[in-house]
Structure 1
Amino acid sequence: MKIGIAQVTGAPGGREEIVAWVRAALDGLADADLVMLPELALCGYDDPPRIRAMALAQDDAILRALAELARERRQALAFGYAEQADDGLYNALRVIDRHGRVLANYRKAHLWSGYETALFRPGERLVNVVLEGINFGLLICYDLDFPEAARFLAANGMDCLLCISATSVGYDVVPRHTVPARAYENGCYVAFANRGDEGGAFPCVGQSRVAGPDGTIIATAPCGGAAFITAEISPERVKAWRRNHPYLADRRTDLY
């Protein structure tokens, strides 16, 4: 499978622009089987009034239009958005397959700082999803800082971790070290789709990337700004690596 990451800046100007904005990202990654957009891609990260105004319920016509767009383009989609639920607002990651079927809607479990806790409710479960025979784990930004979350997903069969993010300036350690570490310690791919905003309240470090199961970076984007990258992932490579590096099987679950 070829994964494409759109490292975006800014956000659609309004709800009526969302579908065209996502279509432009697909145009830039027309050869990708799965296209990822970063955390809160559909509304932006640093403007609470805009985030609230552009929040979408799960049955919103815009989300149905994005599912139709995925079906029309025959490309799977994974993107961040603000989800308006009956009990409050969630920082969410939605996965749609190339037939337009919604496979998962993950809600960020670990909310970062007072900024996010003032805006969102935390999600209450971790999610694995199978797409085209590949088992994907789903995390959002700060979730990645908790190795237990990625390990839980790996123990549930994860071949590739999809992590969307708004990792900001001062946290270069995340793309440079945490991403390959999570790949290596779990023997899986990690596809990290970060925002590229260079201004605003939370300028981001970019560096969207894909790491292989040995921790090698196989594709990377610049430190800021908009960019497109692609990488091939293979479950066979995951299996081959794990045969000689059986970290999951060798865990001492009687001790920890």
Structure 2
Amino acid sequence: MIRFVTLSVIIILNANWTTADEAEKWISDWNPYAQRQALAPNLQVNENTNSLLIKSKGHFRSNGAWQKSFPVREQEFYKIHAEYICQDVELPRRSILVRVDWRNAEGKRVSQPEYPRTRQETNDGHGLIEGIYPAPEGSATALIELIFRWSETGSVEWTNVDWRQSEPPKPRLVKMATVNFRPQKTSGPEENLKQFAVSVREAGEQKADIVCLPEGVTVVGTGKTYLDVAESVPGRSTEFLGELASRYSMYIVAGIYEQDEETVYNTAVLIDRQGKVVGKYRKTTLPREEIEGGITPGDSFPVFATDFGKVGMMICWDVFFPEPARRLAYHGAEIIFMPIWGGNENLFVARAIENQIYLVSSSYSARTGIWDREGKIVAEAKEVGSVVIYEVDLEKKTYWQWLGDFGGRIPREAPKVLEE
């Protein structure tokens, strides 16, 4: 049976479940909500499928939610798990979301709301939103909102939602390293790699989890052209770097020139702790010099899962445009490694802040270092030949005054980007 709900006065009830039987009745006591009647979508309770539906009324302004309030204890951790199925939704990241709004005993907000990340999405419309949060000081309840908005024809069916006390998230520590080094007047790629190996070994001996090398490590200082040093991936350079990665059980990011049949790319490779190439990114934004040198741009922004988190890669000129970093962040990148010849360091700051990621630069003529989510350089390799290492906990959120967890809000509130 589908029960249609008339939107009127909202009454929030406290409820929770602890048994399997109660979990099956999770749809009980949820209440419809919209900021005003003109925005209200159609809200339906489907008792046959044990789900809550929200459908647009045929206009883009539709914005409504199911709400339910749960009791919480200060400083205890809680986990939200919300599964959904959507249809005809142009931009799920903006239209389908969960909000956790902390309230005191009088119902007043005591902290900035949380916006849990979308953890899984499939091509057939299935999705999962999850997050673990501590109840802030002064909180007595958490108002959970299952939101659907800004879709002219779409709908979302919330099929399973669970809110319960949880253990704190386990730390995800990663030691990031970056290298400041530039070979001079060498005989070719092999000599370059041998010189870079000194810095890689230094990072490995300091137990780095991942080290970033600059752009074009096989061409700088050789006097050769891009085409002269282009090679297959995997190939001789990745084999050399792979041996170092395996020896020190450390990921390596490095910029080389990749040849695929008659096409040559400016490529950043990701080599894992076993020495295998597990990812590559082909530079999508090419400056005039590379175009004139016969390079072809890539066309995708892959993100790679490591044993400590998700990483993406950009190369040099990419940082001058907002789209590469934004696409990587939308795909889940928590750290962006950037082999770079040189560039405007103000843009390093901007990309870190606007995407709430850690940015790691390895450069010949700009600063080589690590920028945090607030745009601060937290570690810098100032001298040529130096290596810097910085450890972070990727599980630890960055909270901004007035904004809360800005990283959780970005995909929900940012405009549509090109080709999205």
Query: What TM-score do you get using the length of structure 1 for normalisation?
Result: 0.83
Who wins on radius of gyration, i.e. which is larger? 2
Aligned to 1:161: 336
Q: Which moved more, 1:36-45 or 1:183-192?
A: 36-45
**Cα deviation code 1:51-104 (max 9, x no counterpart):** 433222114234223212211221110001111221222111000011112111
Identity of aligned residues (%): 24
Aligned to 1:218: 378
Answer yes or no: is the 8 Å Cα contact 2:183–2:195 preserved in 1: no
- Answer yes or no: is 1:35 the counterpart of 2:204: no
Shift of 1:34: 0.6
Correspondences of 1:68-87 after superposition (within 5 Å): 68-87=243-262
Answer yes or no: is the 8 Å Cα contact 1:43–1:55 preserved in 2: no
Correspondences of 1:121-200 after superposition (within 5 Å): 121-167=296-342, 171=343, 174-175=344-345, 177-195=346-364
Aligned to 2:405: 244
Shift of 1:240: 5.8
Structure 1 residue ranges, 4+ long, deviating more than 6 angstroms after superposition: none
Answer yes or no: is the 8 Å Cα contact 1:43–1:54 preserved in 2: yes
Find the aligned partners of 2:392 and 2:263 in 1 and give their Cα distance: 36
Answer yes or no: is the 8 Å Cα contact 1:92–1:107 preserved in 2: yes
**Cα RMSD for the two superposed structures:** 2.5
Answer yes or no: is the 8 Å Cα contact 1:189–1:213 preserved in 2: yes
- Answer yes or no: is 1:231 the counterpart of 2:402: no
Aligned residues: 238
Q: Which moved more, 1:131-140 or 1:243-252?
A: 243-252
Higher relative contact order (CA 8 A, sep 6+): 1
Going from structure 1 to structure 2, the CA distance change for 1:71 and 1:149 (only over 3 Å counts) comes to same
**Cα deviation code 1:41-60 (max 9, x no counterpart):** 122178443x4332221142
**Cα deviation code 1:94-151 (max 9, x no counterpart):** 00011112111111111112x1102211111112111123111111011111112111
More helix by share: 1
Shift of 1:22: 3.5
Aligned to 1:201: none
228, 231, 235: which one pairs with 1:60? 235
Find the aligned partners of 2:328 and 2:192 in 1 and give their Cα distance: 31
Going from structure 1 to structure 2, the CA distance change for 1:18 and 1:238 (only over 3 Å counts) comes to farther
Aligned to 1:109: 284
369, 383, 404: which one pairs with 1:209? 369
Going from structure 1 to structure 2, the CA distance change for 1:61 and 1:192 (only over 3 Å counts) comes to closer
2, 18, 21: which one pairs with 2:195? 21
Corresponding residue SS for 1:230: strand
Gaps in structure 1 of 5+ consecutive residues: 196-203
